Amino acid sequence: MTYTFGLDTFGDRENGADGAPLSHAQTIRNVVEEGVFAEQAGVDFFGIGEHHTDHFPMPAGDVALAAIAARTGKIRLGSAVTVLSSDDPVRVFQRYSTLDAVSGGRAEVILGRGSSIESFPLFGYDLADYEELFDEKATLFAELLKGGPVTWEGKTRAALLDQDVVPHLESGPFPAWIGVGGNPQSVIRAARLGFSLALAIIGGPPSRFAAYSELFRRALERFGQPPRPVLVHSPGHVAATDEQAKAEFWPHWREVIALVAEERGFTIPTEASFDREAGPDGALYVGAPETVAKKIAANVRALGASRFDLKYGLPGLTHDQLMTTVELYGREVIPRVRELLG
């Protein structure tokens, strides 16, 4: 099996050396620098996830990805994740087919229903339509990826009749994934529509997601689809030692979970619960390169995945800390994981 390894960011607002938050604009410029450096460090993929808040000021990640594409030549680039439910599938397709063109065929997209829901009121969508919005729009996006004129009709946007959607893809469809955080119906939907599966694991034992990987493989067979890859996306932070990585990451992890706890039903972490999540059986990849590499290798193998994306960064970390994570991940963690996987 061929394994690939990526880095994902939500454009987490960074702090300066004085501890004060940087401007949104400077954070976005720093994300571009981190993406360019990721290629130099040997990372296979760099993804930017869509968010619309003061702590995650990244509503147009495709624009930042295009800036990275202009300064790189090999690294694959994509969303991690695009909230398709509150967007237009045709416009999402056009933005990423444009990115595919300017990058020379390096674009990817991960589509999600929206575990963070700030985009729904922002763009005038009703959460009561949460499931229908995503199902219809994902179905349309699957048709768009096939190329050629598209005919489609649904309730959530205007119908298309033999519509030519440009720009045309130069070398066939780009990789497209559906992000799943624990909903079996989303796994089955991904298989039915012919998407790959991205498992977003942010809490608890990753091993519990092995059932979703197996469900995905069985569903692909049932729908007559060819085998498709499984991706694991989880948060983490890499530093010279385990102690340093935890000391840098923990206070910001506590703050960001507290920030979204009410909206998303999370329990605010304690230092003890954080230590469990950062341990061998938890969902956080926080530590020295050897610690993180062993955990990635174990879970990639257990989940039958062929790709792992480390969601790096948190609001309040500095650009220097994030550049260190990028460097250690690319130059030490990834080679060591490849060794461990044989």
Q: At a CB cut-off of 8 Å and minimum separation 6, what does 228 contact? A: 191, 194, 195, 196, 197, 216, 220
Local confidence band at 160 (pLDDT 50, 70, 90 cut-offs): very high
Please report the DSSP string for 226-247 in residue order.
PP--EEEEEEEEE-SSHHHHHH
Residue range 46-56, pLDDT digits in tens = 999 999 999 99
Averaged pLDDT for residues 130-152: 95
Averaged pLDDT for residues 152-170: 97
Residue 105: predicted pLDDT: 98
pLDDT greater than 80 at residue 21: yes
Q: How many CB atoms lie within 10 A of CB 67?
A: 17
Residue 335: predicted pLDDT: 98
Averaged pLDDT for residues 75-91: 95
pLDDT greater than 80 at residue 22: yes
Query: If you average pLDDT over every residue of the chain, what do you get?
Result: 95
Residue 262: predicted pLDDT: 72
Residue 259: predicted pLDDT: 84
- Phi then psi for residue 83, to 5 deg, are -80, 90
Dihedral of alpha carbons 114, 117, 118, 119, sign: positive
pLDDT greater than 90 at residue 115: no
Local confidence band at 126 (pLDDT 50, 70, 90 cut-offs): confident
Residue 130: predicted pLDDT: 82
Local confidence band at 267 (pLDDT 50, 70, 90 cut-offs): confident
